[in-house]
Amino acid sequence: MSTLKVNSIIPVAGVPTGGGGGIIQTISNVYTSRVSVSIASQGVYDFTAFETTITPTSSTSKILVLGQLAIGHDGGQYLHVGLRINGSITAGAANGNGVTNGSNRIAHIGVNPPNNQAAGSTPINFLHSPNSTSEQAYTFQLSHTSGSTRNLYINYGGSSSTNAETGSYISTVTLFEVSA
């Protein structure tokens, strides 16, 4: 004979307002393509091919954005990854990015990939409060610090070789609607 004991059962729509922390829905996106992009000095690349959307069921819900991007380069630059929400990259912690400071890039995180053979893993971790039941779109913007045009590589290092020294990676993002 089996006995089942639980403290509570959370409904499919999540815990009620004030209960907080229930996962209402989950959307996951895995990007496996190997892409090379050329970015001019002071330029940016909008990674729209990796855009992921979710429509909150309640205006009090929060969206937890977790993921990682695998990015390589052709050498000599520090990379910036900005979190774009609904097509906008906006400064401030409430928008998942740094604050404006002179001519600094507004970004969620910076990464320095190890060399031109391997890609660096750039973590994304942000809790967004959209205060809306409209569709929310999350994507990323890439830029670099080099004074000249540079190549960035998504899901591989700087070499397109198929030998054992060159990795082939994936990038992922998962959106969780969390009840307030």
Q: What backbone torsions phi and psi does residue 113 show, to the nearest 5 degrees?
A: -55, 150
In the chain, % of residues over pLDDT 90 = 18
Q: What backbone torsions phi and psi does residue 94 show, to the nearest 5 degrees?
A: -65, -15
Q: What is the pLDDT of residue 3?
A: 73
Q: How far, in Å, are 50, 123, 148, 176 from residue 53 at the CA level?
A: 10, 18, 34, 11
Q: Predicted confidence band at 26 (pLDDT cuts at 50, 70, 90)?
A: very high
Q: What is the pLDDT of residue 133?
A: 94
177 Cβ partners below 8 Å, 6+ apart? 14, 23, 24, 25, 26, 54, 56, 57, 61, 62, 63
Residue 132 has pLDDT above 70, yes or no: yes
Mean pLDDT of 81-94: 60
Residue 28 has pLDDT above 70, yes or no: yes
Q: How far is Cα 23 from Cα 11, in angstroms, rounded to an integer?
A: 10
Residue 42 has pLDDT above 70, yes or no: yes
Q: How far is Cα 41 from Cα 59, in angstroms, rounded to an integer?
A: 40
Mean pLDDT of 149-157: 84
Share the mean pLDDT of the chain. Answer: 76
CB atoms near residue 137 (< 10 Å): 15
